[in-house]
């Protein structure tokens, strides 16, 4: 079984601090991590590797620094890593990203593609499903559990109010939730192997059958018109010396005022 896991290197938003004076995000010195949903997707692939001897390849598109995320994936147990990097890929929105990834993936052999549900920096949840559409393969999103059944996968897909149990034939694509597992740690020996014995394969624009206009910023139909930091809320109001009944009444009134109830 050949599995390709698409990962994204993102800033660790839990480590982002606010500048107390300007109220803006301090981006400097924020460590980069593997997007949590993607990391759980990688763990799901590694569980399949442990059980069925699957071959796991990790793929990312990003600047050359993204090889740190790929090395982490290798140190967790992935067999192979591919970095798609080129100036022509820069500034891509989800459409252009998924198209670029698809152009690389259509030349590769796979039974299953795993992508995380969404990235913590963009939160779109679009790249995985779009990728499946470009590749014309079935996809199941929001997967919380999976089992292999010969040439199919049996998946538990989460909905707001329940689950679907879905059987899907391979090759297919799934998007995974970070609630599905707890990713394993890297192993010391595999960290050494990732740096000393394994090579990260690079894919650039020249390797893809596509025109420059179709990808990167030029190929992105989404244009960011304005980027701004959300204004801070006003300070709350403190009501003191209310008994329980008065407090409950006040809360209900305030919620009605704000059209929440």
Partner 1 sequence: MNYNLTEEQKLLKKLYKEFTVNEVEPIAGEIDEEERFPVETVEKMKNNGMLGIPFPKKYGGQGGDILAYIMLVEELSKACGTTGVVLSAHTSLCCGPIYEFGTEEQKQKYLEPLAKGEKLGAFGLTEANAGTDAAGQQTKAVLDGDHYILNGSKIFITNAANADVFIVLAMTDKSKGTRGISAFIVEKEYEGFTIGKKELKMGIKGSATCELIFENVKVPKENLIGKEGKGFSIAMKTLDGGRIGIAAQALGLAQGAIDETVKYVKERKQFGRSISKFQNTQFQLADMQTKVDAARLLVYRAAFNKDNRIPYSNEAAMAKLFASETAMEVTNKAVQLHGGYGYTREYPVERMMRDAKITEIYEGTSEVMKMVVSANML
Binding site for partner 1 (CB under 8 A): 68, 71-72, 75, 185-192, 194-195
User: Least distance to partner 1 from the beta carbon of 64, Å?
Assistant: 12
| Bond from prior residue into 47 cis (ω within 30 degrees of 0) | no
Residue 221 dihedral angles phi and psi, to the nearest 5° = -70, -25
Are 54 and 22 spatial neighbours (Cβ–Cβ below 8 Å)? no
User: Least distance to partner 1 from the beta carbon of 28, Å?
Assistant: 17
Between 47 and 191, whose beta carbon lies closer to partner 1? 191
Residue given tokens 């919380």 in the structure block? 144
User: Least distance to partner 1 from the beta carbon of 190, Å?
Assistant: 8
Pick from 108, 118, 115: nearest CA to 140: 115
Ordered DSSP codes for 50-88: HHH--EEEEEEES-GGGHHHHHHHHHHT-SEEEEE--GG
Between 77 and 128, whose beta carbon lies closer to partner 1? 77
Between 39 and 117, whose beta carbon lies closer to partner 1? 39
User: Least distance to partner 1 from the beta carbon of 188, Å?
Assistant: 4
Between 188 and 232, whose beta carbon lies closer to partner 1? 188
User: Least distance to partner 1 from the beta carbon of 223, Å?
Assistant: 36
Rg (CA), the chain: 22
User: Least distance to partner 1 from the beta carbon of 17, Å?
Assistant: 12
Neighbours of 237 (CB within 10 A): 6
Between 35 and 141, whose beta carbon lies closer to partner 1? 35
Q: Where are the beta strands (DSSP E) in the chain?
A: 2-6, 9-11, 17-18, 25-26, 32-34, 55-61, 80-84, 112-116, 139-149, 152-159, 162-169, 172-176, 201-203
Between 181 and 220, whose beta carbon lies closer to partner 1? 181
């Amino acid at each position: 079984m050949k599995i390709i896991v698409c990962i994204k290197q993102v800033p660790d938003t839990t480590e982002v601090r606010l500048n107390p004076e300007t109220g803006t995000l301090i981006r400097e010195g924020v460590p980069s991590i593997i997007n949590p949903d993607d990391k759980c997707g990688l763990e799901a692939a590694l569980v399949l590797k442990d059980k069925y001897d699957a071959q796991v390849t990790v793929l990312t598109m990003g600047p050359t620094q993204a090889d740190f995320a790929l090395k982490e994936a290798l140190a967790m147990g992935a067999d192979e890593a591919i970095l798609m990097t080129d100036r022509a890929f820069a500034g891509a929105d989800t459409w252009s990203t998924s198209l670029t990834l698809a152009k690389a993936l259509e030349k590769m052999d796979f039974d299953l593609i795993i992508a995380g549900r969404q990235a913590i920096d963009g939160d779109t949840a679009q790249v995985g499903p779009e990728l499946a559409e470009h590749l014309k393969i079935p996809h199941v999103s929001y997967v919380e559990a999976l089992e292999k059944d010969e040439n199919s996968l049996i998946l538990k897909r989460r909905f707001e109010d329940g689950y679907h149990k879905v059987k899907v034939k391979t090759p297919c694509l799934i998007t995974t939730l970070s609630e599905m597992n707890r990713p394993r740690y890297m192993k010391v020996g595999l960290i050494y192997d990732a740096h000393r014995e394994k090579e990260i394969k690079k894919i650039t624009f020249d390797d893809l059958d596509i025109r420059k206009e179709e990808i990167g910023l030029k190929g992105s139909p989404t244009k960011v018109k304005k980027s701004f930091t959300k204004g801070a809320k006003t300070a709350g109001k403190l009501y003191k010396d209310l008994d329980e009944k008065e407090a409950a009444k006040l809360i209900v009134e305030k919620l009605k005022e704000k059209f929440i109830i």
